Amino acid sequence: MLVIEKDAIFQRLNREGFWNKESCLLITAKGMPDRATRRFVRRLNEEYKLPVFVLTDGDPYGWYIYSVYKSGSIKLSYESDRLATPEAKFVGVTATDIRTYKISDEYVIKATDRDLKRAQELIRYPWFQSDHWKKEIELFLRTKKKVEIEALSTHGLKFLHDYLTDKIHGNKFID
């Protein structure tokens, strides 16, 4: 199951038949997920043992969206047992991806003060304490660069499919 932050990316992957090529479900909440979407993802994971991969932008807000699927939201922490999917894995864009996937500078966006403040908040959250997340957030804070999923199109329309299969099948996701 691929959970996608943005509806435009969901629509593109749907049109390209990603779901058919990769034998997966595509789901989007069009941004921050509501309770129903989170519960649906959790139930599909629990009841059908479907792995969950979350695709978001490479910024603190996208990373937080992933954490809401994986760990739950702060405001609804009392509902995390029903809504969170602890097995969710992150395949979204990271600060490291800018260099690894040679994303053109014309698609890289300068982080705002608000982005930097949000990243500083994230690094203190318990669910961002893994070495991998600390490294990504610290790199973001150091470089002050972010990218949207659409930046992967710098290599052509087919590249998003290649990027996702590389991350998923190459075990390059973040737990």
Q: Which domains does the chain have, with CATH numbers?
A: 2-169 (3.40.1360.10)
Arithmetic mean of pLDDT over the chain: 93
Beta strands in 5-81 (DSSP E): 26-28, 53-55
Tokens found for residue 14: 């749907």
pLDDT of residue 22: 96
Beta strands in 5-162 (DSSP E): 26-28, 53-55, 89-90, 109-110, 145-146
Please name the residues in contact with 171: beta carbons below 8 A apart, sequence gap of 6 or more.
Answer: none
Q: What are the tens digits of pLDDT across the range 12-43?
A: 999 999 999 999 999 999 999 999 999 999 99
Q: What are the tens digits of pLDDT across the range 57-109?
A: 999 999 999 999 999 865 655 466 778 999 999 999 999 999 999 999 999 99
User: pLDDT grade, residue 158 (50/70/90)?
Assistant: confident
